[in-house]
Amino acid sequence: METSSRIYPNVHIGKDVQIGDFVILGHPPRGAEPGELPTVIGDHCIIRSHTVIYAGSRLGNNVQTGHGVTIREHSTTGDDVSIGSGTAIEHYVTIGNNVRFHGQNVIGEYTVIEDDCWIGPHVSITNVLHPRCPKAKKCIKGATLKRGAKVGANATLIPGITIGEMALVGAGSVVVEDVPPRTVVVGNPARVIKRIEDLECPFGLVEHPYEPD
């Protein structure tokens, strides 16, 4: 544990946790006193330099953060989660087990990401349809990614939509409505073009490239 890091009161750190330089754990959110909200870091986590984890958040076991990650208050992760460098996870986000964020992601408040999902680089998940509306805070709602969903690089998901189980969102797509399970969507706005069973590996290495092990 590096002396250059700051650990606030009421931070509970599990076994064999690695903490890099200039990490802040348990940063109090607005309106909370230092140590008022518990912060939990599970066993065998790796928290790399310049990560900031706000008070009230809980990380499972074997969670890794890249450099410069921010995790806001009241967010939770399961086990075996990888959060790539530069990713911002806002408050009240729920993340399951074995989820991968490639990096430079923005994950809006109240997003729900189930087990085995994969989020490509520069993906944005939004949560407010009309940001300047005086009632905007009353209708904040993030997207829901069901088990095994995958979202390609630079895609944008609008608030409140659901990406179905094992669905694949193509790179650069803008998703404005729910995506059915096991489908592939591309474009702006994104449209279904096929099912994942129809995908083929261009290198002939596997028969079904998007099926889980």
Tens-digit pLDDT profile for residues 107-162: 999 999 999 999 999 999 999 988 888 888 888 999 999 999 999 999 999 999 99
Alpha helices in the chain (DSSP H): none
The SS3 of residue 144 is strand
Put simply, whether the predicted model's pTM sits higher than 0.85 gets the answer yes
Q: Which residue has the tokens 């870091």?
A: 41
Q: Which residue has the tokens 């074997």?
A: 62
Q: What angle do CA 7, 28, 105 make, to 5 degrees?
A: 90
Q: What is the pLDDT of residue 208?
A: 73
pLDDT in tens, 170-180: 999 999 999 99
Cβ-contact 47, 75 below 8 angstroms? no
pLDDT in tens, 38-80: 999 999 999 999 999 999 999 999 999 999 999 999 999 999 9
In the chain, the N- to C-terminal Cα span, in Å, equals 35
